[in-house]
Amino acid sequence: MLAAETAPSGLDLRAPANRVSRRAIWYWTARAVASWVVIGAVEVLILFVGGSAIPHGRWAIVAVSILVALGHIVVMPRWRYAVHRWETTGTAAYTQTGWFTQERRIAPISRIQTVDSHRGPLEQLLELANVTVTTASAAGPLKIHGLDRVTADRLVEQLTTQAEANTGDAT
Amino acid sequence: MSAPASPPVVTAAAPLPWRRLSPRMLLVHPVKEIGRAIPGLVALLLVGSGSGHGTLWGLLGAGVVAIASVSRWFTTRYRVSVDQVQIREGLLRRRTLAARLDRVRTVDVTSHFLHRALGLARVEIGTGVSDRNGASVLRLDGLPADQAARLRGELLHRAVATGSSSLGDRLDGGAGRLGDAEQAVTPTLSSGPQLGAQEVEIARLDPAWVRFAPFTLSGVFTGLAILSVGWRLVSESQVDVGSVGPLSSAGSQLSGVPVWVAALELFLSAVAFIAVASMARYLLAFWGFRLTRHIGGSFHIARGLLTTRATSIDVNRMRGVGLSEPLLLRLVGGASTTAIATGLQVGRGATPAGRGGTVLLPDAPLAEAQRVAGVVTGRTDVVHADLVTHGPVARRRRYTRVYGLALGAVAVTALGWWALRLAGYAWLATLLLLIVAAPLAADRSRNLGHLVSGGYLVTQSGSLVRRRAIIETDAIIGWNLEQSFFQRRAGVLTMLATTAAGRQFYRILDVTPSEARRIADASTPGLLAEFTAPEHS
């Protein structure tokens, strides 16, 4: 065990400095709406096709799922936006993701192997981009979702330059 | 490895000729491929017999398969240059695979039964990171056994055995020599790394260890596999099982005794069968097991009864060891040791060593497993050290999780019985889970532990399989700190040390934030410093 004066009282980690783009809220909302529309369609289909075989509580099921859907669509994107943060310094990259289960990932710049960004069709519309930073470990990619496109491009360029400065095979 | 890139001048002199694998493979390929194609050939035979030319069709099919397999020898070529191993293969779709020599992490030499009869070996060269997509494991199937052993030595020890200045020359000679091996012994051959002379033995198999084999789960799987194959053979050959002498007498004996006696007899014979099967598997896989350390800087593992396999791991790639104790094996005081090395991913078929290839010591007495772990890591004290326990919250969470699962199982089966009238009163059997839950949770919480000491991170967890990982802190790339909603409320977190070796991450379950900080600061000094909350820095 370490000496008492160096023993910290907690994890003492602050959150990463930067938030993702506010437009990411719209992206997450749209995605949640899309998946609930599918679920709703299936429910309605079941009600109309096999309606007679289902007990009378059926409208209650629909009502409950609408409530859950509304809650998820309203709360999840904002909660997620509050959690999602990122930061890079000269020596390390640091991300915080999730909403129900939250995760912080820290990797040193010297161990970065690849940096890439990608955009789905909806993200192109909203001018968003995702940046993925991989290390030699299959378990450790740092993913930053919902970045402003300009910020993402700058980040990729900056990390690539920094990683190039470090040689060695980074394992 | 930071071998300086050799000047390209050395290679530019003359392009190296491409070489073929041993022509003896012309005998191996057809036998192997026809063996693999037997189901198809049988189908062909059956379909053809309708037209009255069954045998003809079957022979034709076998001929096509044989020719196709032989074409592999004619289309595969390889060469070893100063800085690369290159393989060109394929008849219709030609492709060239190449691996940089300074990226070679593991070399695996396997000889299946046929290979051994003809004095051949298959060399697989693993290059680490890119193993993940599987395509870049280089396979040289069919070198003469002595060439394979020499190639292995060269690939792993070139940087150590000679100064960097003579590296190019020596390898040029080495590459030429490989092809000319049928000719006279060249000067480089005698000065080359001779396996055997410079090796230090770390461990070898004691045949008495086979007594541990029945206590691993693998025995159960082997037994089931043998049973299912046997069952398929019986059902396909349409032999009436009841009419076979010993089986029919056993059957009549079973029907003559009370049900519980019959059940007990069946259970005992299944246990005996599984025990024998797993002991046979153990001997087949680990006969002649030997772990040695080569002066040139690598660990060698040789093993196998019918199929021999020799794996070499570069010392620089060795990042730690794992001790694994399945519950039954733990009860009889056994354990096995595995290597945690970059380029050897656990559970990935694409790695050259394949499944179980990372074994540093098969199931053996715990003391022996610990001794090997101590010798390989060089830190016997860390291997034997008492671990730091995870405290009351982690303990409570073990109980809530195990009981949660058990209650969930009871609830689901009871609901199925009540609402859908499924499976009678079978749900009552799930109540047994609640009885097993308490000792399981107690064992799981007792086994939790971690330690950072002497440049190593130790983490241990699990009950059904207790695993202890001992990895170099230098091998830790970064941290993933996970907190579920419930963990945030309980004030604990799960740390994942990410690494390029072994399982790619090693988990420390449910530690308090301050302990997590201590672990991170002790194993990766300074990494968290920049992100420390200002009021504490």
pLDDT at A57: 65
Neighbours of B494 (CB within 10 A): 19
- pLDDT tens digit sequence for A40-66: 888 888 877 766 655 666 677 788 889
The Cα–Cα gap between B520 and B64 comes to: 61
The Cα–Cα gap between A61 and B467 comes to: 45
DSSP code at position B7: P
Phi, psi values for residue A159, rounded to 5°: -65, -40
Candidates B61, B375, B395; CA nearest to B200 is: B375
Q: Where are the alpha helices (DSSP H) in A84-139?
A: 121-125
Candidates B103, B91, B95; CA nearest to B78 is: B95
- Sites in chain B below the pLDDT cut of 70: 1-14, 48-52, 54, 128-136, 157-197, 217-219, 222, 236-248, 343-357, 420, 422-424, 535-537
B530–chain A Cβ distance below 8 A for any pair? yes
pLDDT at B183: 32
Inter-CA distances, A116 with A160, B114, B134, B359, Å? 9, 47, 21, 36
Structure confidence at residue A18 as a pLDDT band (50, 70, 90):
very high
The Cα–Cα gap between B376 and A168 comes to: 25
Strand A128-135 versus strand A112-118 pairing type: antiparallel
Phi, psi values for residue B66, rounded to 5°: -65, -45
The Cα–Cα gap between B35 and B290 comes to: 31
pLDDT at B348: 43
Contacts of A140 in chain B (CB under 8 A): 477-478, 480, 498, 504-505
Strand B476-483 versus strand B465-472 pairing type: unpaired
Report helix, strand or coil for B357. coil
First and final C-alpha spacing in chain A: 28
First and final C-alpha spacing in chain B: 36
DSSP code at position A61: H
Judge whether A35 and A101 are in contact, CB under 8 Å. Answer: no
Longest dimension (CA), chain B: 90
pLDDT at B26: 84
Q: Where are the alpha helices (DSSP H) in B122-197?
A: 145-161, 167-179, 187-191
B504–chain A Cβ distance below 8 A for any pair? yes
Strand B290-294 versus strand A112-118 pairing type: unpaired
Q: Quick check: B479 and A89 CB within 8 A?
A: no
Q: Quick check: B531 and A16 CB within 8 A?
A: yes
- pLDDT tens digit sequence for A131-154: 999 888 888 789 999 999 999 999
pLDDT at B314: 82
Judge whether B371 and B360 are in contact, CB under 8 Å. Answer: no
How many interchain CB pairs under 8 A, A with B? 130
pLDDT at A22: 92
Q: What is the pTM of this model?
A: 0.76
Inter-CA distances, B18 with B15, B80, B81, B83, B181, Å? 9, 9, 10, 15, 15
How many percent of chain A have pLDDT more than 90?
Answer: 49
pLDDT at B168: 34
A91–chain B Cβ distance below 8 A for any pair? yes
Contacts of B537 in chain A (CB under 8 A): 12
pLDDT at B76: 86
Phi, psi values for residue A166, rounded to 5°: -95, 120
Q: Which residues contact B196 (CB under 8 A, 6 or more apart)?
A: none
Joined together, the tokens standing for residue B332 give 């009889």
Candidates B393, B521, B391, B526; CA nearest to B452 is: B521
A143–chain B Cβ distance below 8 A for any pair? no
Inter-CA distances, B313 with B102, B153, B194, B347, B376, Å? 14, 11, 17, 17, 12
Q: Quick check: A108 and B514 CB within 8 A?
A: no
- More confident: B131 or A80: A80
Of A11, A87, A103, the CB nearest to B513: A11
Q: Quote helix, strand, coil % in chain A, to nearest 5.
A: 45, 25, 25
B220–chain A Cβ distance below 8 A for any pair? no
- ipTM here: 0.85
pLDDT at A56: 63
The Cα–Cα gap between B31 and B47 comes to: 23
The minimum CA-CA distance between A154 and chain B, rounded to whole Å, is 21
Which residues sit opposite B478 in a β-bridge? Answer: B498
The Cα–Cα gap between A38 and B118 comes to: 62
Phi, psi values for residue A14, rounded to 5°: -85, 165
> Mean pLDDT for chain A?
84
Q: Which residues contact B171 (CB under 8 A, 6 or more apart)?
A: B80, B81, B82, B101, B154, B158
pLDDT at A153: 92
